Amino acid sequence: MQQTLVLVKPDGVRKNLIGEIIARFERRGLRVAALKLVKITKKQAKFHYAEHDGKPFFDELVDFITSGPVAAMIIEGENAIKAVRRLMGATNPLDSVPGSIRGDYALSIGENIVHGSDGEESAAREIKNFFTPEEIY
């Protein structure tokens, strides 16, 4: 059993896609173990995206992810990390297959609707950045 951190990013929230995205995970057989709407701080955003610090798009990324509320959730299930990444589609929506979340709802790499942890280590770090143990069911 794995847990992964998923964010419906501010563009996904603005487009009223929270329910649609959660439904795709649930229908696949994955479970919501924690869920909340939050406007994240710059500090929290920089920690979340620490691996990208120094890249040319880093400041833009932090500005965007803090531009409005995100729907933060822990998705749990067998191989949840990979299953969620596959459901999300490729990072650049132009390469995401239709049928994936990004392939259906996004066109721009900077505004690609959804985040999902890319491995067990990042999932553990990212979950701690968003949820206390008491918030996880």
Provide the binding-site residues for Mg ion, judged by CB under 5 A: 118
Nearer to ligand IDP, 22 or 45 (CB): 45
Q: How far is the CB of 115 from ligand IDP (least distance, A)?
A: 5
Q: Report what 137 binds from ligand IDP, Mg ion, none; CB cut-off 5-8 Å by kind.
A: none
Cβ 130 vs Cβ 124: under 8 Å: no
Task: Kindly report each contact of residues 43-50 with a partner whose C-beta sits within 8 Å and lies 24 or more positions away, as own/partner.
Answer: 44/129, 44/130, 47/129, 48/126, 48/129
User: Least CB distance from residue 15 to ligand IDP, whole Å?
Assistant: 15
Catalytic residue check, 115: yes
Place of tokens 């490729």: 90
Q: Catalytic site residues? A: 115
